[in-house]
Amino acid sequence: MRVKRTLALMGAGAAAMASIAMTAPPASASDGQEYAKKGSPSHDHWLRCTTRDGAFGCFQPYGEYFYIKDIEKEGESPFVQWKSSTGRSGTITAKVGYMNWGYVNKSFDESTTITFRSCVLVCSKWTSVSAGYE
């Protein structure tokens, strides 16, 4: 009797855990503070870019890549601040050295609008682009 009750409780617990796992939201792409990896943009696809006082930041809709380049030797790392029309946002910092490109590959729905700006000590104006490949 005790064994049957223990097995029944274990089965109920397993069923509860399975239902929690099945109703958990899907994992989203990492947002918040990120650091760029060293790598250059492809010349096969267009970019939307902004620049300001030592920072050159771009978004490539095809593949959803952010690129950033440190274009002045002032000792500060450039970064891109971004936000999406779906409520996601983040900052990407490039600590890849002077005149080197850094990148982060994101994942956005094709209908999302991405708004971003480039910064070092001050920031450029915000610019917007569709995440969908045009």
pLDDT digits (tens), the chain, 134 positions: 554 544 444 454 444 444 433 333 332 356 899 999 999 987 778 889 999 989 999 999 999 999 999 999 988 999 999 999 999 999 999 999 999 999 999 999 999 999 999 999 999 999 999 998 65
Question: Judging by beta carbons within 10 Å of its beta carbon (0-12, 13-18, 19+), is residue 16 exposed, middle or buried?
Answer: exposed
Neighbours of 28 (CB within 10 A): 9
Token reading at 24: 């958990």
Q: What is the pLDDT of residue 29?
A: 54
CB 68 within 8 A of CB 94: yes
Q: Coil, helix or strand for 82? A: strand
Residue 29 CB neighbours (<10 A): 13
Fold classification of 29-130 is Immunoglobulin-like (2.60.40)
The SS3 of residue 60 is: strand
The per-residue pLDDT for 21 is 39
What local confidence, expressed as pLDDT, does residue 53 receive? 86
- Compute the distance between CA of residue 36 and CA of residue 58 in angstroms, rounded to an integer: 12
